[in-house]
Homo-oligomer: A and B are copies of this chain.
Amino acid sequence: MAAMIKSDFSAELPSVTDERPADARAEAFQGVREARRNELAEDYVELIADLIHEHGEARPVDIAAQLGVRAPTVTKALARLAREGLITRAKYRSVFLTDEGRALAKECRNRHEIVLRFLIRLGLDAETAELDAEGIEHHVSERTLALFKSYADRP
């Protein structure tokens, strides 16, 4: 009934108090959903690259330990990454990045570092910075990343 009173003068026309148009907001949410679909792949390839760098190879057991998930979860995710052309692998063997996977890993590593350095530069403790960066990194546009980098790198 509150709606009926209101609808007398502002029902189908966009109200003045309607700060953002519906489709602009929808675009933001759609962008977030899109980013979420890439998160897993990004974290995996970044981690795989790290493991190869640190241990010479990326084994599912280590991937699982670092991500805090069980082995079958990793098996399934790796099948998806292989299907998407980011990794190659053979049964019971460790994982390799394709050129595309390596490129993505490099990009993600770079972005992760910028976000992390930015947060620390802002005054955050290193531990919390690492926790937050792991989530924030996937939702930072090119422009925002550039601003983060400038701030982190400033004298």
Q: How far is the CA of A43 from the CA of B139 in the complex (A)?
A: 15
How would you classify the secondary structure of chain A's contact residues: helix, strand, loop or mixed? helix
8 Å CB contacts to B: which residues of A78-136?
94, 119, 122-125, 127-128, 130-132, 134-136
Which residues from B are CB-within-8-Å of A57? 2-3
Q: Which residues of the other chain, B, contact A131 by a CB distance below 8 angstroms?
A: 27-28, 31, 141
Hey, which chain B residues are within 8 Å of A139, CB to CB?
Answer: 132, 134-136, 139
CA of A62 to CA of B15 in the docked complex: distance in angstroms? Answer: 14
Tell whether A128 pairs with B141 under 8 Å between CB atoms, given A3-B55, A26-B65, A134-B31.
Answer: yes
| A binding-site residues for B, Cβ under 8 Å | 2-3, 5-6, 15, 17-20, 22-32, 35-36, 39, 43, 53-57, 62, 65-69, 94, 119, 122-125, 127-128, 130-132, 134-136, 138-141, 143-144, 147-148, 151
